[in-house]
Amino acid sequence: MSEMDIYPSLTQIADELPKRRLSDINIHHEDGGCIGLDIVNLRFQKGDERMTRIENKLDINSSDTSEVLEILRLGKSFFKVIGIFGALVKWATAIGAPVVVFYYTLKGGDKQ
């Protein structure tokens, strides 16, 4: 009898695993025919390493995103100030132009 006959669930599990991971399976029997948990520990270790890499990349991405948002907020504030300045210039022109024309008319136009 082979190991796969004794443990048919292992055959089912092996069939469900992707082909690239079949080489990772290292089934061995310890005292009393127990199956070792090396593969489970290895997968947990690889998963932990992967999660750590993802968390590090997420931290970097979050800091970059915060910087971009800060720049966009500063740009928004800048354009708001420019808009207020433009509105002031518009009103100053609307009020100032007739005043200048009236003053120019009172002085006699281009006569000196």
More confident residue, 108 or 34: 108
7 with 35: CB under 8 angstroms? yes
Banded pLDDT at 17 (limits 50, 70, 90): low
Question: Residue 11: pLDDT band by 50, 70, 90 thresholds?
Answer: low
Question: For residue 69, which amino acid is it?
Answer: L
pTM comes to 0.42
**pLDDT given for residue 41 in this prediction:** 73
pLDDT tens for each residue of 26-68: 455 555 444 556 667 777 888 899 999 999 999 999 988 989 9
Task: Considering only residues 46 and 4, tell me which one the structure prediction assigns the higher pLDDT.
Answer: 46
- Residue 5, pLDDT above cutoff 70: no
Buried b (16+ CB within 10 A) or exposed e, 78-101: eeeeeeeeeeeeeeeeeeeeeeee
**pLDDT per position as a tens digit, 78-93:** 999 999 999 999 999 9
Q: Which phi and psi angles does 28 have, rounded to 5°?
A: -140, 160
Q: Which of the 8 DSSP states describes residue 21?
A: H
CB 25 within 8 A of CB 14: yes
Q: What DSSP string runs through 31-69? A: GGGPBP-HHHHHHHHHHHHHHHHHHHHHHHHHHHHHHHH
